[in-house]
Structure 1
Amino acid sequence: MMNREKLISKWLDNNLNNLELEAFKNLEDYDDLVKLDTSLQTFKADNYDTSKELETVLSTIKSKKQQPTHWFKPFMRIAAILAICFSLYYYITTIDTTISTMVAQKTTIDLPDASSVSLNAKSLLAFNKKDWKNEREVELQGEAFFKVTKGSTFKVITKLGTVTVYGTQFNIKQRDNYFEVICYEGLVGVTHNTHETKLKPGDSFLIIDGEIIAKEKENRSTPSWLNNESTFKSLPYKTIIAEFERQYDVDITLVNIDSNQLFTGSFMHNNIDVALKSISLPLHLTYSKTNNTIILKGE
């Protein structure tokens, strides 16, 4: 007669003949096996091999010593099912909502409290919907413009600093060794290396390569990138090139150019030829373009 493990394996594969099915039904734990399989099917995720995982659980149970009482074994099976259910519930209800943009892409996100976030190209925003009423907190990689409704403390966490606000409009840009916060409305607190700086409308906080950079008052009501234009005031040329690559999905090589020289100017996001002239002519540079590769040359 076929052994117990073989019968279970064939049952999991729906491959029992009539005689084998009768033998399987006569197993002492037949009812428990059916209940366990049904429970696992309820929580099955995409590409989750239920048969394989169930067989692993059964093998583990089989390897344990028999318990002295008859009620202990089914009790442990029920406990295992409950543990699986609880773990899945906990994972599902605590997972963050993540929105990301590709190169040359922008998007706007509505947060659970009616606050909104405009996400610039090649950026990522993550937050937890479940805990939003208790903790308004988002994580940002890249650049975003926030319109925050009044309420409890609102925090934006980045790798280079944390921004705390109380109903306001502001822009955050965090790229590699670049961290900038501009307040357009309300009050913003920027914490960097445990020190907090308060920003009022028009104030900016900028760090490049670990150094705090003083900036003039911002006179715009919103960041220029919302209108498909990137604007720069006395910033290292390498930051302009990095932004150009994000907006146009190109690779730029600099030849005989000091990437740390300061640049003031702008470029549009909807016409690459005009944009190239905007970043090359002021510095008397020439350029060549082949597909998605651009070479900028100095004199």
Structure 2
Amino acid sequence: MQRENLIKKWLDNNLNTEEQNAFEQLEDYNELIKMDTALKDFKAPEFSSDQNYQALKPHLKPKSSTANQWLKPLLRIAAILALGFSVYYYTTTLDTTVETRIAQHTTIELPDNSTVDLNANSTITFNKNQWTKTREVSLEGEAFFKVAKGQKFDVITTDGIVSVLGTQFNVKQRKSYFEVTCYEGLVAVTHNNKTTQLEPGHTFLIRDGKLLANEKENAVQPQWLHGESSFTSVPLKHVIAEFENQYNQTVVTKDIDLSRLFTGSFTHNNLDLALKSVTIPLNLGYSKSGKSILLKRE
């Protein structure tokens, strides 16, 4: 029992002078010291020798057993290695997530100096530690990318994967709406295991489950970067959804055909002007009540 108490106090650095002398007389003293020296480069978590010793005590053999002499140090090594692997796994798999709220835009710089402009009510996720191996981001919502020259760059969405080299493009992934527009370079869009390449000015659009053709885009950037949402023959329900992303308002409709097509735009900076921009071309009226807007036929 004296031997066990000495080892326990040694593990806790709690030996007095007399106990230290007794500890140095143990037959396996040199082996214990070598083991302790090997552990100096590790930073171990808080360790309760008493608690761990009591847990192991029923399994310990008499002190003459070699297993008993080495079990305690090996337990410390196992705990330290487990901690090390846990820290490594956590730090290398930890993702960075950036979110925007309603009516909020932000710009993110990625580890390779690529930039992402994130539209309202959107989320982007990437891993800084794995970036040199895998340049990819996950996107929910809408973002405009300026990709630095380099290896393959992927944008992962629930509707498809956008793969590029250095280029500029916009990705919009909302409910029942997936749109990719290339502004510079070459973009490859993979949807349902089929890949489509886009040159500057061309768009890939899946709306309500249907692949649609689009007119060539002449702008050098999407309009939302300049505080305006624009649409060309887009069903009203998608226009309303985007309106709710840009304004902290809930839009309620009454006796309105939400499949009606809208061509036009609305500003992000003036609620009434935005409402008029949408309702007047469609011959609709509206009324406001707190955070709610009612759209109705005139």
TM > 0.5 between the two? Answer: yes
Is 1:254 equivalent to 2:253 in the alignment?
Answer: yes
The residue identity in structure 1 corresponding to 2:297 is G
Is 1:32 equivalent to 2:19 in the alignment?
Answer: no
Deviation at 1:82, TM superposition (A): 2.0
State the secondary structure of the residue aligned to 2:45: helix
State the secondary structure of the residue aligned to 1:69: helix
Alignment of 1:175-186 (within 5 A): 175-186=174-185
Alignment-derived partner of residue 280 in structure 1: 279
Q: What is the rounded CA distance, in whole Å, between the counterparts of 1:246 and 1:198 in structure 2?
A: 29
Alignment-derived partner of residue 270 in structure 1: 269
- Specify whether residues 195 and 28 from structure 1 end up closer, same or farther in structure 2 by C-alpha distance, changes over 3 A only: same
- Specify whether residues 65 and 185 from structure 1 end up closer, same or farther in structure 2 by C-alpha distance, changes over 3 A only: same
Q: What is the TM-score with the length of structure 2 in the denominator? A: 0.82
Q: What is the rounded CA distance, in whole Å, between the counterparts of 1:203 and 1:296 in structure 2?
A: 33
Q: Pick the structure with greater CA Rg.
A: 2
Tell me, yes or no, if the aligned pair for 2:236 and 2:259 is still in contact at 8 Å: yes
State the secondary structure of the residue aligned to 1:146: strand
The residue identity in structure 2 corresponding to 1:111 is L
Alignment-derived partner of residue 65 in structure 1: 59
Number of residue equivalences: 262
Tell me, yes or no, if the aligned pair for 1:287 and 1:294 is still in contact at 8 Å: yes
Q: What is the rounded CA distance, in whole Å, between the counterparts of 2:68 and 2:6 in structure 1?
A: 18
Alignment-derived partner of residue 15 in structure 1: none
Q: What is the rounded CA distance, in whole Å, between the counterparts of 1:163 and 1:117 in structure 2?
A: 14
Alignment-derived partner of residue 164 in structure 1: 163
Q: What is the rounded CA distance, in whole Å, between the counterparts of 2:92 and 2:168 in structure 1?
A: 30
Tell me, yes or no, if the aligned pair for 1:167 and 1:186 is still in contact at 8 Å: yes
Deviation at 1:74, TM superposition (A): 2.4
- Specify whether residues 168 and 60 from structure 1 end up closer, same or farther in structure 2 by C-alpha distance, changes over 3 A only: farther
State the secondary structure of the residue aligned to 2:136: strand
Alignment-derived partner of residue 239 in structure 1: 238
Deviation at 1:89, TM superposition (A): 2.3
The residue identity in structure 2 corresponding to 1:114 is N
Deviation at 1:92, TM superposition (A): 1.4
- Specify whether residues 27 and 244 from structure 1 end up closer, same or farther in structure 2 by C-alpha distance, changes over 3 A only: farther
**Identity among equivalent pairs (%):** 54
Alignment-derived partner of residue 29 in structure 2: none
Tell me, yes or no, if the aligned pair for 1:32 and 1:74 is still in contact at 8 Å: no
Tell me, yes or no, if the aligned pair for 2:92 and 2:130 is still in contact at 8 Å: no
The residue identity in structure 2 corresponding to 1:292 is K
Show CA shifts across 1:195-238 (max 9, x none).
Answer: 00010011000001211011111111100000000000001111
Q: What is the rounded CA distance, in whole Å, between the counterparts of 2:75 and 2:285 in structure 1?
A: 74
Alignment-derived partner of residue 89 in structure 1: 88
Q: What is the TM-score with the length of structure 1 in the denominator? A: 0.81
Q: What is the rounded CA distance, in whole Å, between the counterparts of 1:125 and 1:236 in structure 2?
A: 26
Q: What is the rounded CA distance, in whole Å, between the counterparts of 1:272 and 1:27 in structure 2?
A: 77
Deviation at 1:77, TM superposition (A): 2.4
Q: What is the rounded CA distance, in whole Å, between the counterparts of 1:130 and 1:77 in structure 2?
A: 29
Pairwise CA RMSD:
2.4
Deviation at 1:271, TM superposition (A): 0.6
- Structure 2 stretches of 5 or more lacking a match? 14-35, 62-66
Alignment-derived partner of residue 186 in structure 2: 187
Deviation at 1:190, TM superposition (A): 0.3
Alignment of 1:116-131 (within 5 A): 116-131=115-130
State the secondary structure of the residue aligned to 2:82: helix
Deviation at 1:133, TM superposition (A): 1.9
Q: What is the rounded CA distance, in whole Å, between the counterparts of 1:284 and 1:60 in structure 2?
A: 81
Show CA shifts across 1:124-157 (max 9, x none).
Answer: 1111112212221111111000011111111111
Tell me, yes or no, if the aligned pair for 2:163 and 2:189 is still in contact at 8 Å: yes
Q: What is the rounded CA distance, in whole Å, between the counterparts of 1:115 and 1:40 in structure 2?
A: 39
State the secondary structure of the residue aligned to 2:86: helix
Q: What is the rounded CA distance, in whole Å, between the counterparts of 2:256 and 2:183 in structure 1?
A: 34
Tell me, yes or no, if the aligned pair for 2:247 and 2:268 is still in contact at 8 Å: yes
Show CA shifts across 1:225-273 (max 9, x none).
Answer: 0000000000111111011111011111111111111111110001111
Is 1:101 equivalent to 2:100 in the alignment?
Answer: yes
Alignment of 1:225-236 (within 5 A): 225-236=224-235
- Specify whether residues 59 and 31 from structure 1 end up closer, same or farther in structure 2 by C-alpha distance, changes over 3 A only: closer
